[in-house]
Amino acid sequence: MSFTAQEIENVANAAIDYHYKTPDVRSQSLQEKPLLKAMMAKEESFPGGKEEITFGVKGEYTTDIQGFEHNDTVGYANPANIKRGRAPWKLIHSGIEVTMHELLKDGISVTDTSNGEGERKHSQRDKTVLANLMKDKVEDMMEGTDRGMNNMFWMDGSQDAKEVPGIRSFVLDDPTTATVVLGIDQSANAWWRNRASLGLSTASADAQLVVQKLQSEWRQLRRYGGRPDSVLCGSAWLEWMEKELRAKGNYTLEGWTAKKSTDASIADISFKGVNFEYDPTLDDMGRSKYCYVLDTKRLHPMVIEGESMKKHNPARPESKYVFYRALTWVGGLVCTQRNAQGVYSIA
């Protein structure tokens, strides 16, 4: 027997939807950001300056040895091989705004209405609130800042002249094409070039061409003192490496019936003790087939002292009850040894 229209209306008037209350709004689109994590962990400070961060590098040597006997004349060299690398520093901002009206609807008052500090939650607020509005806005600012910084570090600077040029401005797909990189002419200085090998063959997993290429490249990346400590990969690159490893391996050494269950997964991949990390941003950028091998001791951010993720509570306009929160970061990204960095991709 079905409900009558009167019974349905009575239920609608007597009941409300069940709202599952959690302390936080559960985001559905958070991703790991291993490049951002690596960069912020290596951040160094500087006192300020005109508009660039400069650093000295050299790749050529003038002095040589000379054999002599008795009163032979010997020569002397006057080395002059120092070059100055240059990286711009920029001012980066992220911020949110919220009105007094919004906060009052959320059961929140502010003690100091000049800048919005001193939040106070109203009594019995839990009877009206489904989510913490202010907390969600601040979380949006923090995650939005991380996403923006992460994307900036991955890009080459062409997206916005007011942003810091990221690693793709000096870890180039083809280091033989560009001329001046970080202020130094790489066409005239072969030592001022990153390693690159794109379109590696995926014709046969058995041939293990990618693993073999990495073996030889790792040697070259360490040739001049580089020590790779961060390997960031897209999903397609990692999937192909797993295929190469599976092509020469076995699921189990004990047999299929030795245990109640057989783990068909493959362990996380590492090379020379350095873990290969999946960076979802590479997929987002259409670079799922790419792998970046980095030495973060020679590639890292430089920030003006005291200006890394600085918090601000700006005063509100006298004519509007709007409150603000902001973060600023002031710095640049330097690479003091390009031949210790590499980029690779599969076909």
- Spell out the per-residue pLDDT of the chain, length 347, in tens: 666 777 666 656 665 555 565 556 677 888 999 999 999 999 999 998 889 999 999 999 999 999 999 999 999 999 999 999 999 999 999 999 888 888 887 777 776 766 556 565 655 555 445 457 777 888 899 999 999 999 999 999 999 999 999 999 999 999 998 789 999 999 999 999 999 999 999 999 999 999 999 999 999 999 999 999 999 999 999 999 999 988 876 555 555 565 666 667 777 889 889 999 999 999 999 999 999 999 999 999 999 999 999 999 888 888 988 888 899 999 999 999 999 999 999 99
The total of other beta-carbon atoms located within 10 Å of residue 180's CB is: 12
- Cα-Cα-Cα-Cα dihedral of 274, 296, 342, 345, to 10°? 60
Enter the pTM of the model. 0.86
Instruction: Give the pLDDT confidence score for residue 122 in this predicted structure.
Output: 53
> 219: closest CA among 227, 230, 210?
227
Quick one: pLDDT at residue 136? 81
- According to the model, what pLDDT value does residue 130 have? 45
| pLDDT for res 265 | 73
Domain ranges of the chain: 27-50+83-249+266-346
Cross-strand bridge partners of residue 332: 302
CATH code of domain 27-50+83-249+266-346: 3.90.1690
CA-based torsion, 258, 259, 264, 266: positive or negative: negative
DSSP per-residue codes, 55-118: EEE------------TT-----------EEEEEE-EEEEEEEEEEHHHHHHTTEEEEETTTTEE
